[in-house]
Amino acid sequence: MVSTQILQLKTILICLAFSLLLDLFDTPLPFLFGSLFGCLIASLAGVKLLGMPKVSSVSRTVLGVAIGTTLTMDVITTIPQYALTLAMVPLYVVAIASIGYPYFRKILEYDRVTAYYASMPGGLQDMIVFGIEAGGDPRTLSLIHATRTLVLVTLAPIVLTQFFGLRLDNPLGSPITDLPMFQNVSLFLTGIAGMILFRRMKLFGADILGPLVLAAPLAMSGFLTHRPSEEMIVLSQFFIGLGVGIHYQGITARELGRDIIAGLGFIGIIVPVAIMAFMVAAQFSDIPPFELFLCFWPGGQAEIAVMTLAAGGAVSIIVLHHIIRIFLIITGAPVMHHLVKKK
């Protein structure tokens, strides 16, 4: 137990050191990317790290509540305005899978199960869990999806700052001292309750979607009048980044040469598809360009939500597009997997 705690503390300190270094240079979202890069570099150097799954899960509930509290009645009534872009999401997912599966199966010669789940632009944890249950290679899936998430959440701020002229310095929330104690406690309990409820119902994305679904009606009713504090969201970023980065632990030269390069190749496939979807949607959508870009960016839902908060965008609308993407992938994965196995 003591050795486990020491190892976890070492992991936190490494990630914190990288986060503070990035913060010193005014890097966007330093506590998200600092923990990501800290884990990656330490893993490549052979340093033993240990994640904290329970802490990472609680961190994701903070983000779910932050998103849910933005789903006001004003936002809900505007959803019909985005029907066309929302309708593009299924086509977008099919386009990526149609190119990604042959890439992993035919070119890289992965087994069918691993190739299928590697080609799905779903949530990192969801795709790994579903893939392992179906008989896929856990290390390969972890490396490919962790690489996808890491690279795409690194590229997104560059695009937002360099091409859209954003600063990503909007406050992520009010200081914790500005929130009434009742609201702080209510926000925390809402997140935990939503996560537990969705897990017991065995629903996908429990850590984020459970708190989101529970927080939204509470916000609409006026019970929740604030979103989580800035300090809580920063902590959430840190442990979300650590939870993704820890998947690089134990990486070998062979895996680095095969799976990470394979993941980079997959990124070369999905980024053009995402850009094409963005350009098509831009022809008829009234959504601000940078928000539309984030709607179709195939990174992790949690990381995209954090960037949206920092950019001052409409979190609820962007996350709605990603929820549909993840929902389609998760619910369709078992069915499509059986079809793939029969071929």
pLDDT at residue number 129: 64
Angle between helices 301-311 and 315-342 (to 10 degrees): 160
pLDDT at residue number 51: 87
* Phi and psi angles of residue 203, each rounded to the nearest 5 degrees, phi first: -95, 150
Q: Are 52 and 8 in contact (CB under 8 A)?
A: yes
Task: Please state, in angstroms and as integers, the Cα–Cα distance from residue 177 to each residue in 65, 185, 309, following that order.
Answer: 18, 13, 20
* Phi and psi angles of residue 300, each rounded to the nearest 5 degrees, phi first: -70, 140
- The residue that leads in pLDDT, 226 or 10, is 10
Q: Would you state the structure tokens that stand for residue 228, as one six-digit string?
A: 């989580």
Helix (H, G, I), strand (E, B) or coil at 133: helix
Looking at residues 155-183, what average pLDDT do you find?
82
pLDDT at residue number 324: 80
Could you tell me what percent of the chain has a pLDDT over 70? 89
Q: Which of 82, 133, 143 is nearest to 292 (CA)?
A: 82
**How many CA atoms are closer than 13 Å to the CA of 132, on its beta-carbon side?**
10
pLDDT at residue number 313: 77
Q: Would you state the structure tokens that stand for residue 160, as one six-digit string?
A: 């937002």
pLDDT at residue number 216: 87
Q: Would you state the structure tokens that stand for residue 217, as one six-digit string?
A: 């009606």
pLDDT single digits (tens) 94-121: 899 899 999 999 999 999 888 988 998 8
Q: Are 29 and 310 in contact (CB under 8 A)?
A: yes
pLDDT at residue number 195: 93
The rounded Cα 179 to chain-centroid distance in angstroms is: 27
Sequence-separated (6 or more) residues with CB below 8 Å from residue 50 = 4, 7, 8, 10, 11, 246
* Position 232 pLDDT exceeds 60: yes
Q: Please give the Cα distance from 234 to 30 (Å, whole number).
A: 9
Alpha helices in the chain (DSSP H): 2-24, 30-44, 53-68, 73-76, 83-102, 112-118, 124-133, 138-162, 181-200, 206-220, 230-245, 253-255, 261-282, 289-295, 301-311, 315-342
Lowest pLDDT segment from 19-28, 60-69, 199-208, 299-308:
299-308
Q: Please give the Cα distance from 34 to 16 (Å, whole number).
A: 7
Looking at residues 290-308, what average pLDDT do you find?
82
pLDDT at residue number 343: 55
Q: Would you state the structure tokens that stand for residue 222, as one six-digit string?
A: 């006026």
pLDDT at residue number 268: 94
Looking at residues 238-264, what average pLDDT do you find?
83
